Structure formats: structure tokens, C-alpha cells
């Protein structure tokens, strides 16, 4: 690979290399297009030292100036979003419109953060005791690590780093090594928007880099999004090293289709939520729960629509769905589909038989009916374009099924009945719920997060909870005594 195709770290505003590298592929062609450097613990040390220096200046920078950086970031990304979307499509594979959608969801947080003067406001009480006032202020935690997954190379970093920076922290962003270029592109944008060097650093790498970050005393908070086994490791190791941590994990999102639902719109919603972005969304629907006697009809409608999807290179204008991220992912997904019949499932649609490009990491949409807990396709997160259908007789069975699942990121109910929708909203043990909406992703002024094995930690990500995560509260009690207030008091104050 030429020097031009080497994706380097950005530390203290400078591009830096490392000896070890890893190939980066275009999943639509299967070809290697670049190489990314992999950080050693020494590189991580250097990045944290630079970030700590920069953070001392950044937290002293006026909030109005910080807010202006956010406005400028918004303006630049908005004007150049096609460029960023093309980078995402080239390394991730998702279709251009989907890449633009991810950028739009990330930008919502940039917009939210531009209002940082409001979000950083504290509280105060006058006259708690005679002449004593108390206030609570928010201060940044210091240098934070943001570790992100491959499936949203722009949105997830924009959720984490923007909030952290707005709150006055410095960031070490460790993006996925499978699609690392979007992170560098965004770091350049923040710089162009006026962010001082060193406040946002991009360190590329794998477990070596991540573990160095988790164990380093210079890192005060860790935000992570990725698979559940790694999320557990991040949560535990960060806690062992005394850091605050939020670690979002995997998902198995169920969509309940009630007998009274509008089946056409439910089927269309299932197709877009199961197969959009080749099923590589943490909010993808991977299980449809058909209640009562609508299952045959629902499955037939999903099949009809899924069969017509155009699976192609994401740069192609008519592509509905691109490739999956790697050859290993393709083999893993294929294995689930191939094994489904043996486990007792009915393979209604086999993605291997879809009209597919003859190179790249492609598989078409698969639909497996008569799936039950205990089958691998049900129990495990596939993270590919595979929709399982579980048939149940009643609403209560659907509720029990979802509440028994170890994952609890998102879920949805399709019904025309307000009482059913309200009961679902009340009883379901899942962090994000859609009512006649298949991917209930919160908007910028709410935060994002699941329950159970989908989130380790106690705060959700970005938005208002993000500002809680990235700040420490400090309580200041003050009194301005009169010259005559000189009496000695040895007891604990009773007011
Ligand atoms: P992943 O867990 O493999 O990787 C995530 C990050 O962790 C990457 O930066 C990677 O370099 C690093 N990493 C990988 N293995 C590691 C290890 N052993 N030790 C330390 N660090 C390690 O996840 P992925 O494949 O990039 O992303 C897909 C997963 O992310 C899916 O499980 C998906 O559900 C999940 N996800 C969840 C959400 C959510 O909001 N809950 C959002 C997006 C993605």
C-alpha cells in the first residue's frame, strides 16, 4: 500500500504513524483499499499526555467560544455531508442515503451541544442557613476515551465526542479499525471549526489500544458502543481502574405485530428495519413476533417486499441494501441461515439465492419462519440481514418472550389499539420502545440506551444524560461574614 493509503492517528493536531498496520477493505468489492495504523501503549501514552495539556486550556475557554465551535462544525458537515457519506459507503458499505441518515442523526447531537450554555447550567439555593448560599456547578471530568463500533462510523463518534468536548473535556477517539477514515475526516472538521489541537485526538487500533486506554490513569471516563462481550470487558476493566463508564452492547430487537395491525405498513416497517443497512444496526429488527392468526399473511407480505430489494454496491443509485462489513461477517451470517432449517426453522427466503453482485461481501435478505427460543438464530445476535418470525397466540406470550430475552435495546409494537400500545409501553422491559415505529431511535434532546445486556452503566448516551456523564458536579457553600461574626463554633453546623 502506498503512503497515501495509510490511515494515521491524529494526535495533538499532527498525523502520526505506527509500525503495526491492518488492512481496510471496500466491502462492496472485497478489495483492500487502505491500511490503518495500530497504536501501541506508547502511542496511547503520548496521546493522553497531549490531550491532558490541551484540556487544561479548553476547560478555561469561554462557553460562548465553545458553542461557536459546535455551530461551525454543524455548518461544515452540513455543507460537505455527501463527502462524509461517500467515505462511510466506501469502507462500511451502507447505501448513500443511509449514510446521509446516520450523519443527520449525529448532527442532531451537534445541534444539541451548540446549546451547551444551557446544558452546563448548575443550580443554587440562596440562604440555606443565615448568610449561607449553596450552588452546584458542573465541571468536565478531564480526558475521556470514546471507543466506537464499525456500524455507525460517524453517528456514534458524534454522539460521544461532541458532548464530551462541549462539556470541556479532551477526547481520545478510538474508532473501529474496519472503517477508520470517517473519524479522521471529522477530526479535521473540528479543527477547521476552531477546536484547539489536542482536544480531539484519533488513535487507531484494536484491543491493545483499547486496553491501554482502560488501564491508563490519565483517562477519567470511558464511553463505549459495540458488542456485548466487549462491552462487559470495557465496563469491568474501566470500573477496576476507577473510571466512570457507559458501555452499550448488542441487541436482539423484537417487533410485535398484533392481529389488528395494518399489515401492509407493519410488513414494510419490518422489511426496512430488518434489512436496511444490511441488518447491521443496533436498532435493527431481527425478530418479528406475529400474534394470533395473521402470521401467514404477514410472512407472505414481508417475503414479497424483501424479494424485490436491490442488493448492490452502496454507491449505486438504486441500491436498497449494500454488503456486510467483512468476509468473516458474511461467513458467520451465512452459517446462521444454513443452519436454520436443521434447527426446525422454515427458511422462507434464503439470502444466498438473491440476485447479488459477483464480488464483495454480499448476502441478500433472509426470512426464517417458525423460529423459537433455543435455536441459534433466535438466541444469538446475528447482525446481518436475517429476520426471524416467532409465532405466538396471545399478546401476553409476546410480552413474556421479549421480557425473557437477555438483550433489551429496542422493541416495537404494531397495533391500532391504544390500550394495547399503552400496556406494552408500561410493561415491556426494554430501553427504547416504538409504537407503530420500527426503529425507535430517540431524537437529540433525549438520550439513547437500552437495558439489561444492551447497556452496562447507569447513564444513557448523548443528549441530556451525556452532559451528566461527561461532567462532575461540585457543590460550593459560601458565606461572607461580617466583621462581628467571630464567635468560635466547635460543633458540626446545625444551621
Ligand atoms: P465490537 O465489539 O467488535 O467493536 C467495538 C469496538 O471495540 C471497536 O472499536 C473495536 O476495535 C473494539 N474491540 C473489539 N474487540 C475488542 C476487545 N476484545 N477488547 C477491547 N476492544 C475491542 O463491535 P462491532 O462489531 O464494531 O460493532 C457491532 C456491535 O455493536 C453489535 O453487537 C451491535 O449491536 C453493537 N452496537 C450497539 C449499539 C447500541 O446502541 N447498543 C449501537 C451500535 C452498535
The contacts of residue 376 (CB under 8 Å, 6+ apart) are: 336, 339, 343
Inter-CA distances, 202 with 17, 48, 145, 233, 291, Å: 12, 11, 10, 22, 47
3-state secondary structure of 335: helix
Which pLDDT belongs to residue 27? Answer: 98
Q: Whose CA is nearest to atom 10 of ligand 1?
A: 176
How does strand 132-140 pair with strand 123-129?
antiparallel
Compute the C-alpha angle 438/110/272, nearest 5°.
Answer: 20
> Percentage of the chain with pLDDT > 70?
99
* Distance from Cα 128 to the centre of ligand 1, integer Å: 47
At the second CATH level, the architecture of 253-435 is 3-Layer(aba) Sandwich (3.40)
Q: Which numbered atom of ligand 1 lies nearest the CA of 325? A: 25
Average pLDDT in the 332-360 region? 97
Q: Which numbered atom of ligand 1 lies nearest the CA of 282? A: 34
Which pLDDT belongs to residue 43? Answer: 98
* C-alpha cell read off for 244: 466512570
Range 81-120 burial, b when 16+ CB lie within 10 A, else e: beebbebbbbbbbbbbebbbbbbebbbbbbebbbebeebb
Cβ < 6 A, ligand 1 pocket: 147-152, 174, 176-177, 206-207, 210, 225-227, 230, 233, 248-251, 282, 381, 383, 409, 450, 454
Q: Which numbered atom of ligand 1 lies nearest the CA of 147? A: 9
Q: Whose CA is nearest to atom 32 of ligand 1?
A: 227
* Distance from Cα 393 to the centre of ligand 1, integer Å: 36
Which pLDDT belongs to residue 133? Answer: 97
Give residue-wise pLDDT tens across range 391-408.
Answer: 999 999 999 999 999 999
- The C-alpha atoms of residue 100 and residue 81 are separated, in whole angstroms, by 7
| Mean pLDDT of the residues in the chain | 97
The contacts of residue 207 (CB under 8 Å, 6+ apart) are: none
How far is C-alpha 462 from the chain's CA centre? 10
Average pLDDT in the 212-216 region? 98
Q: Whose CA is nearest to atom 34 of ligand 1?
A: 250
Average pLDDT in the 288-313 region? 98
Specify the domain boundaries for CATH 3.40.605.10 within the chain: 3-249+454-476
Other residues' Cβ atoms within 10 Å of the Cβ of residue 473? 11
* Distance from Cα 224 to the centre of ligand 1, integer Å: 8
Domain 3-249+454-476 has CATH 2.40.70.10: no
* Distance from Cα 147 to the centre of ligand 1, integer Å: 8
* Distance from Cα 149 to the centre of ligand 1, integer Å: 4
Which pLDDT belongs to residue 495? Answer: 65
How many CA atoms within 13 Å lie on the side-chain side of 171?
Answer: 29
Which pLDDT belongs to residue 489? Answer: 75
Annotated catalytic residue within 156, 266, 267, 282: 282
Q: Whose CA is nearest to atom 24 of ligand 1?
A: 149
Which pLDDT belongs to residue 93? Answer: 98
* Distance from Cα 450 to the centre of ligand 1, integer Å: 15
How many CA atoms within 13 Å lie on the side-chain side of 5?
Answer: 12
- Asked whether the predicted pLDDT for residue 491 surpasses 90, the reply is no
* Residue whose C-alpha cell reads 409501553 in the numeric block: 425
Give residue-wise pLDDT tens across range 363-384.
Answer: 999 999 999 999 999 999 999 9
Q: Which numbered atom of ligand 1 lies nearest the CA of 383? A: 31
Q: Which numbered atom of ligand 1 lies nearest the CA of 174? A: 9
- The C-alpha atoms of residue 98 and residue 326 are separated, in whole angstroms, by 19
- Asked whether the predicted pLDDT for residue 1 surpasses 90, the reply is no
* Distance from Cα 229 to the centre of ligand 1, integer Å: 9
The question of whether 146 is a catalytic residue gets the answer: no
* Test site for ligand 1: of 226, 384, 431, most ligand atoms within 8 A of the Cβ: 226
Q: Whose CA is nearest to atom 19 of ligand 1?
A: 207
- The C-alpha atoms of residue 171 and residue 161 are separated, in whole angstroms, by 6
Q: Whose CA is nearest to atom 22 of ligand 1?
A: 207
Give residue-wise pLDDT tens across range 241-260.
Answer: 999 999 999 999 999 999 99
Q: Which numbered atom of ligand 1 lies nearest the CA of 234? A: 20
The contacts of residue 303 (CB under 8 Å, 6+ apart) are: 348, 349, 367
Specify the domain boundaries for CATH 3.40.309.10 within the chain: 253-435
Which pLDDT belongs to residue 57? Answer: 98
- The C-alpha atoms of residue 189 and residue 14 are separated, in whole angstroms, by 14
Which pLDDT belongs to residue 270? Answer: 98
Q: Whose CA is nearest to atom 16 of ligand 1?
A: 207
3-class SS string, the chain? CCHHHEECEEECCEEECCCCEEEEEECCCCEEEEEEECCCHHHHHHHHHHHHHHHHHHCCCCHHHHHHHHHHHHHHHHHCHHHHHHHHHHHHCCCHHHHHHHHHHHHHHHHHHHCHHHHCCCEEEEEEECCEEEEEEEEECCEEEEECCCCCCCHHHHHHHHHHHHCCCEEEEECCCCCCHHHHHHHHHHHHCCCCCCCEEECCCCHHHHHHHHHCCCEEEEEEECCHHHHHHHHHHHHHCCCEEEEECCCCEEEEECCCCCHHHHHHHHHHHHHHHHHCCCCCEEEEEEEHHHHHHHHHHHHHHHHCCCECCCCCCCCCECCCCCHHHHHHHHHHHHHHCCCCCEEEECHHHCCCCCCCCCCCCEEEECCCCCCHHHHCCCCCCEEEEEEECCHHHHHHHHHCCCEECEEEEECCCHHHHHHHHHHCCCCEEEECCCCCCCCCCCCECCEECCEECCCCECHHHHHHHCEEEEEEEEECCCCCCCCCCCCCCCC
* C-alpha cell read off for 248: 452499550
- The C-alpha atoms of residue 468 and residue 54 are separated, in whole angstroms, by 22
Amino acid at each position: 500500500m502506498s503512503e497515501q493509503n495509510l490511515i494515521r492517528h491524529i494526535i495533538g493536531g499532527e498525523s502520526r504513524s505506527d509500525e503495526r498496520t491492518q488492512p481496510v477493505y471496500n466491502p462492496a468489492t472485497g478489495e483492500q483499499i487502505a491500511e490503518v495504523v495500530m497504536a501501541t501503549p506508547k502511542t496511547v501514552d503520548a496521546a493522553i499526555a497531549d490531550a491532558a495539556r490541551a484540556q487544561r486550556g479548553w476547560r478555561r475557554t469561554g462557553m460562548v467560544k465553545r458553542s461557536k465551535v459546535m455551530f461551525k462544525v454543524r455548518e461544515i458537515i452540513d455543507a460537505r455531508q455527501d463527502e462524509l457519506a461517500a467515505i462511510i459507503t466506501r469502507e462500511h458499505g451502507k447505501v448513500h442515503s443511509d449514510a446521509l441518515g446516520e450523519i443527520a442523526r449525529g448532527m442532531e447531537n451537534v445541534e444539541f451541544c451548540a446549546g451547551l450554555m444551557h446544558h452546563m447550567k448548575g443550580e443554587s439555593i440562596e440562604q440555606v442557613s443565615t448568610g449561607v448560599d449553596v450552588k452546584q456547578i458542573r465541571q468536565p471530568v478531564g480526558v475521556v476515551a470514546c471507543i466506537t463500533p464499525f456500524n455507525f462510523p460517524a453517528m456514534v463518534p458524534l454522539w460521544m465526542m461532541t458532548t464530551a468536548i462541549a462539556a470541556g473535556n479532551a477526547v481520545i477517539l478510538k474508532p473501529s479499525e474496519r472503517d477508520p477514515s470517517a473519524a479522521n475526516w471529522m477530526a479535521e472538521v473540528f479543527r477547521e471549526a476552531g477546536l484547539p489541537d489536542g482536544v480531539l485526538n484519533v488513535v487507531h487500533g484494536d484491543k491493545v489500544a483499547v486496553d491501554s486506554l482502560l488501564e491508563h490513569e490519565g483517562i477519567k471516563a470511558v464511553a463505549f458502543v459495540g458488542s456485548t462481550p466487549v462491552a462487559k470487558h470495557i465496563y469491568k476493566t474501566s470500573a477496576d481502574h476507577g473510571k466512570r463508564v457507559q458501555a452499550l452492547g448488542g441487541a436482539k430487537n423484537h417487533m410485535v405485530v398484533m392481529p389488528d395491525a395494518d399489515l401492509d405498513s407493519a410488513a414494510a416497517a419490518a422489511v426496512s428495519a430488518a434489512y436496511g443497512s444490511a441488518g447491521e444496526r443496533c436498532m435493527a429488527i431481527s425478530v418479528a413476533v406475529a400474534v394470533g392468526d395473521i402470521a401467514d399473511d404477514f410472512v407472505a407480505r414481508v417475503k414479497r417486499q424483501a424479494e424485490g430489494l436491490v442488493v448492490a454496491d452502496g454507491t449505486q443509485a438504486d441500491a436498497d441494501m449494500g454488503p456486510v462489513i467483512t468476509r468473516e461477517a458474511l461467513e458467520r451470517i451465512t452459517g446462521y441461515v444454513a443452519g436454520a432449517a436443521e434447527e426446525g426453522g422454515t427458511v422462507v427466503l434464503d439470502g444466498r439465492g438473491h440476485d447479488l453482485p459477483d464480488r464483495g461481501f454480499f448476502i441478500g435478505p433472509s426470512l426464517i419462519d417458525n423460529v423459537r427460543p433455543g435455536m441459534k438464530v433466535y438466541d444469538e445476535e446475528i447482525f446481518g440481514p436475517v429476520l426471524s418470525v416467532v409465532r405466538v397466540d396471545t399478546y401476553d406470550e409476546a410480552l413474556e418472550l421479549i421480557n425473557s430475552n437477555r438483550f433489551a435495546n429496542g422493541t416495537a409494537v404494531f397495533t391500532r389499539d391504544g390500550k394495547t400500545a399503552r400496556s406494552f409501553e408500561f410493561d415491556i422491559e426494554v430501553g427504547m420502545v416504538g409504537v407503530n415505529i420500527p426503529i425507535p431511535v430517540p431524537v437529540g434532546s433525549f438520550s439513547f440506551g437500552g437495558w439489561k445486556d444492551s447497556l452496562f452503566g447507569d447513564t444513557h448516551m448523548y443528549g441530556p444524560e451525556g452532559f451528566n456523564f461527561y461532567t462532575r458536579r461540585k457543590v460550593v457553600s459560601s458565606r461572607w461574614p461580617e466583621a462581628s461574626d467571630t464567635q468560635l463554633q466547635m460543633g458540626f453546623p446545625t444551621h
